[in-house]
Amino acid sequence: LHGEDGDDTYGDHATEHGGDLSRSVNISVSGAWLNPGGRRGGGRRRAKFGFRDGSPSKGTDSRPERIRQVADDALRRLQTDHIDFFYQRRVDPDVPIDDVAGTVGELIAAGKVRHFGLSEAGVATIRRAHAVQPVTALQSEYSLWWREPEEQIVPTLTELGIGLVAFSPLGRGLLTGTITAETKFGDPRANPDAFPRFAEENWQSNEALVELLRACGDEHGATPAQVALAWILARNPTDVPIVAK
């Protein structure tokens, strides 16, 4: 299930966007579709918490009472008795990760949540959280274009038995082979001023990587994007790329 911003979530979009009726209705309709006849159907339900009113611009909010509110609202709108994966969207500097993990652990003990996930957390945070409540998966940017997690994050996940959910596995679109130096981005997150990897002075090295993927793909009848995704899966079959960008 994918939310409107590609964040792999439904639950907290219904709650963390507060009065946004269209999104809440969308969640409720999805809940009815997933549970024909009032019975839980197939598929896994994911929800996230971590931002005040669901808006990154308003800052983080992982207070225990907020976590419980997001979970209960997600259960109600998804019309289900449990959430399969419950992720913290961003680490909250004002709330100890031990408290966050403990609160999710209580939800797991109550049967409301099955698995606990983190997003873009550092090694120390991952270890502290995992010591309180086992972490099932970590979401982090990872691709042939962005391999920084290999330095410390990936070894830690391997040691602790935590899965990696790789977002932007296609390098925010670059590894599809469809972006050129003249491409204009509608998403401000891909603006060269905010994202130096898209800056003109870096384009030559970027283009070389794409051409390498294209050549490899031509040998195997695949696109650059397919090669980029195959690379992630080949490195660790338990890694899961979020194919959105």
pLDDT (0 to 100) of residue 12: 39
pLDDT (0 to 100) of residue 191: 60
- The answer to whether 37 touches 50, Cβ cutoff 8 Å, is no
- The answer to whether 37 touches 26, Cβ cutoff 8 Å, is no
Alpha helices in 35-164 (DSSP H): 64-78, 97-109, 123-132, 153-160
Dihedral angle of Cα 51, 141, 78, 55, to the nearest 10 degrees: 20
Active site residue 142: no
Of 9, 10, 130, 143, which one is the catalytic site residue?
Answer: 10
Classify burial at 185, counting beta carbons within 10 Å of its beta carbon; exposed 0-12, middle 13-18, buried 19 or more: middle
Cα–Cα distances (Å) from 116 to 33, 122, 187, 235, in that order, read 25, 16, 30, 24
pLDDT tens track of the chain, all 245 residues? 433 222 333 433 333 433 333 343 344 444 444 454 444 455 678 899 999 988 888 999 999 999 999 999 999 988 889 999 999 999 999 999 999 999 999 999 999 999 999 999 999 999 999 999 999 999 999 999 899 999 999 999 999 999 999 999 998 888 998 887 777 766 655 565 666 777 777 888 888 899 999 999 999 999 999 999 999 999 887 788 887 65
Q: Give the SS3 label for residue 90.
A: coil
